[in-house]
Amino acid sequence: MISGKDITVLIMAAGESKRMQDIKQLLPWKDSNFLLEIIKTAKNSRVGSVHLVLGAHAERIVDKCSLNDLHVDYMINPNWQMGLGNSIAYGVNHLLSLASRPQGILICLADQPLMTSDYLNLMVENFIQNPNRIIATNYTQKTGVPALFPITFYEKLSQLKDDYGAKEILKRYRKETIGLNAGKGIIDIDTKAAYEQLITDTQ
């Protein structure tokens, strides 16, 4: 039977953050920054391991976050400019090259600072009960990430190329997807205004 330890989190943090006009991964948040907090959130959940895909500003992010001291497996996608889909494929192919393949890959974003370990655990619990289904997050009229994919979707994830991430897979396989509600956890922070509002709302 699948357990949380059989599931790997893949955090996507390769983007350039053009709309933010700053390095989004390093924006101050709580006691550290966006990236370190999502890593902490993932590590505090029931998953077995946490992996990270970097791209733009990789050297600075590794240095500022002291990633080499955190025991987090990170990789740098040389083709990060090709978009989120390409970085997902890069990360998934890396996971598939490891000696022990995960039974589920939980894709998270570095720009959802309100995501909680409890919600990730809820995704894991639903996946354990439905190991052949995608467990995704409900948005207004669609599902999106965080999303937990079973082995049967690894090949499709490994072949993503564009900037739409896993959206097309989630759209095409809607009947094979269970959508969960993350509440405020689904808020993406893409602009300075959104970041400033986040700080105002959480003070």
Q: What pLDDT, on a 0 to 100 scale, did the predictor assign at position 63?
A: 96
Q: What pLDDT, on a 0 to 100 scale, did the predictor assign at position 110?
A: 95
Q: What pLDDT, on a 0 to 100 scale, did the predictor assign at position 1?
A: 83
Q: Which residues are paired to 137 by β-bridges?
A: 144, 180
Query: What is the Cα–Cα distance from 116 to 114, expressed in whole angstroms?
Result: 6
Q: What pLDDT, on a 0 to 100 scale, did the predictor assign at position 72?
A: 85
48-95 pLDDT tens trace: 999 999 999 999 999 999 999 988 899 999 999 999 999 999 999 999
Mean pLDDT of 108-130: 97
Q: Count how many Cα atoms sit within 13 Å of the Cα of residue 40 in the half-sphere of its side chain.
A: 12
Percent of the chain predicted with pLDDT > 70 = 100
Does position 20 have pLDDT exceeding 90, yes or no?
A: no
Residue 72 identity: V
Total residue length of the chain:
203
Q: What pLDDT, on a 0 to 100 scale, did the predictor assign at position 7?
A: 98
4-202 placed in CATH 3.40.50.300: no
163-174 pLDDT tens trace: 788 999 999 999
151 SS3 class: helix
Does position 35 have pLDDT exceeding 90, yes or no?
A: yes
Residues 6 or more apart whose CB falls under 8 angstroms from that of 87 comprise: 12, 14, 15, 53, 55, 77, 80
Mean pLDDT of 9-25: 92
- Mean pLDDT for all residues in the chain: 94
Q: What pLDDT, on a 0 to 100 scale, did the predictor assign at position 19?
A: 82
Mean pLDDT of 119-124: 98
Largest Cα–Cα separation, the chain: 46
Q: What pLDDT, on a 0 to 100 scale, did the predictor assign at position 164?
A: 80
More confident residue, 120 or 202: 120
Tokens 């050297």 found at: 59
Query: What is the Cα–Cα distance from 134 to 127, expressed in whole angstroms?
Result: 8
Query: What is the Cα–Cα distance from 167 to 200, expressed in whole angstroms?
Result: 30
Q: What pLDDT, on a 0 to 100 scale, did the predictor assign at position 163?
A: 77
